[in-house]
Structure 1
Amino acid sequence: MFKDSDNEEGREDVTEHGGRIRSFKHERGNWATYIYVPYQACDEFLDLLDELVSVAADHKVSMHKMSEFHISQSQTVVLRHHWINPFVQSLRDRLRSMSRFHCIADRIKVYTNQEKTRTFLGLEVTVGMEHLMEVVSDVDQSLQEFDLQTFYPDPSFHVSLAWCVGDAVGKLDGSCLKELQKALDRFENSETLTCFYAEEIRCKTGNKTFCIPFQ
């Protein structure tokens, strides 16, 4: 419906991204966009994260802590600049009746991106999945309206905690994963830290962030 054939290619310096590889070419006028539920980390949560990263380091995996925390509700897609406002309005219209809901993310899990160029340590959501799926369904409809790729068909909702370059699943799975889960379970106030309310979604497109509150 909202297709556009403009194809001005820009350049990208991969040294600016810590060696990470972008999964699509940067083109002038195109804005990398994703939708997510934010998680506000407190100091205790950051202390927990330090401990988990330390456990990974004991297993010879050096991980970089995330600078912000969220639950993804879309893949990263590309919006043309003049699509931004109508796309955000479409999200607002579809999510206007969504109520805030309770989530628990208390299961350590290891993920990679589709290209296997990065590995992530995450907290998988164990309570609240059905509500997150409702949000994804609405988000997907807005994405389809703009001929954009929808979310994964069977998503594992999670809060990404830390990452490293390459495929480190083999090192983090098994005994390391068990130690990571034990570190989480025995951490003081872990039950409180992994329990939160989803009160809004955010759409980040380029350097702009739009907040859509739930009721």
Structure 2
Amino acid sequence: MALVQYSDSGSDEDPATDNRSVTATSPRPLKRQRTNRSKNIGDVSNAQANLPPLPSEFLDLYATNSRISVQDDPSLHGGRKRITPHVVGNWPTHIYLEWYPAAAELAILEDVISRSGQKLQNGLEIHSLLYSDLGAQLPLHISLSRPVALVTEVRQPFKELLKDAIRETDIRPFHVKTDGLGWVSNFEKTRWFLVLRVVKPRNNELNRLLAISNQSLAAFRQPPLYQKPGAPMDSRGKKRAGESQTQKSKDVPLGDYSDYFHISIAWSLTEPSVEDKERVGSTNLSKLKEVEVPFGSVKLKIGNSIHNLELPTRVLGEGGFFGL
């Protein structure tokens, strides 16, 4: 199962703890001043809560961390190692659906991660994917491709192909719900991720978008995200000997990978034991099951550029891309 390269773990600071510490050590005469300041902060927070959300295009501008080093230095990334070496002219590419949880949803996710970490034994440590090292909120996502590399000259053609495919489809903006916790690893089994399983949406949008992604990638000889046993492609996504190289993408059947889709919320460098997986899997997710995750566009990341490919809202007269 394919996963994108993630940012490092979130901040360890606890604002609530910091506020209590300040209150306990401040001189008594400043009590009224602190009360007024708290009221002002509350007023600002309420005002911010009433502001409309930032447009997706604005968030995309700041979604990529600046490069710290051109060398693979795991000490800069919480012990993580680069799987695919950097090659000049190759552009890391990823297709996915993005979710920025609201404040109430973040609180639920933080609680889920905290309680999951408490159930782990043998010193196993998990790192949150909710925040950056500086405390900024990070987006979560559902992958529609594995991390692949495109050469410079095909970046624009690939973007246009995927953009046209999404524009011509009849897939509309949709929601998904979560259903339980699980663990998945990257392809190389160098990291394990605590994930939220998702419920198959009513109109099968995830499988249909995955088919569009896989077929677009196949046009540029890139491997698919998921491949079930018996499929006609090898582990690198190349057609096996004897298979027609002229087979059209529309001839590829729509598979059901509903059990594979997930949203990663934390990661670990150590594989959890079977017992750890069972304990974490029993975590109560009653509050999280009420959350509906909205998706209105597909994200395409090529290098440090993120392109927002909106799902159409108009109804097409005939079938969409590849008849999906």
Give the TM-score taking structure 1 as reference length: 0.85
Aligned counterpart, 1:3: none
CA positional deviation for 1:70: 0.6
Q: CA, structure 1 residues 113+171, in 2 after alignment: closer, same or farther (shift >3 Å)? A: farther
Unaligned runs of 5+ in 1: 1-9
Aligned residues: 199
The answer on 1:56 being equivalent to 2:160 is no
1:70 to 141, 161, 170: 141
Q: Retained in 1: the 8 A contact 2:73–2:81?
A: no
- What is the aligned-residue RMSD (CA, Å)? 1.9
Aligned counterpart, 1:202: 299
The one-letter code sitting in structure 1 at the alignment partner of 2:281 is L
Aligned counterpart, 1:43: 103
The one-letter code sitting in structure 2 at the alignment partner of 1:93 is D
Name whichever of 123-132 and 23-32 sits farther off. 123-132
Aligned counterpart, 1:25: 85
CA positional deviation for 1:16: 2.8
Give the TM-score taking structure 2 as reference length: 0.58
> Which of 1 and 2 has greater Rg?
2
CA distance in 1, matches of 2:116, 2:275: 9
CA distance in 2, matches of 1:176, 1:197: 26
Q: Which residues of 2 match residues 104-183 of structure 1 at below 5 A? A: 104-128=177-201, 130-154=204-228, 155=257, 156-170=260-274, 172-178=276-282, 180=283, 182=284
Q: Which residues of 2 match residues 185-196 of structure 1 at below 5 A? A: 185=286, 187=287, 190-193=288-291, 195-196=292-293
The one-letter code sitting in structure 1 at the alignment partner of 2:307 is F
Aligned counterpart, 1:82: 153
Q: Retained in 2: the 8 A contact 1:39–1:69?
A: yes
Q: Retained in 2: the 8 A contact 1:101–1:199?
A: yes
CA deviations 1:44-75 (Å, max 9, x no partner) are: 22212221222232123321111320100000
Name whichever of 37-46 and 126-135 sits farther off. 126-135
The one-letter code sitting in structure 1 at the alignment partner of 2:125 is S
Q: CA, structure 1 residues 24+86, in 2 after alignment: closer, same or farther (shift >3 Å)? A: same
CA distance in 2, matches of 1:176, 1:209: 34
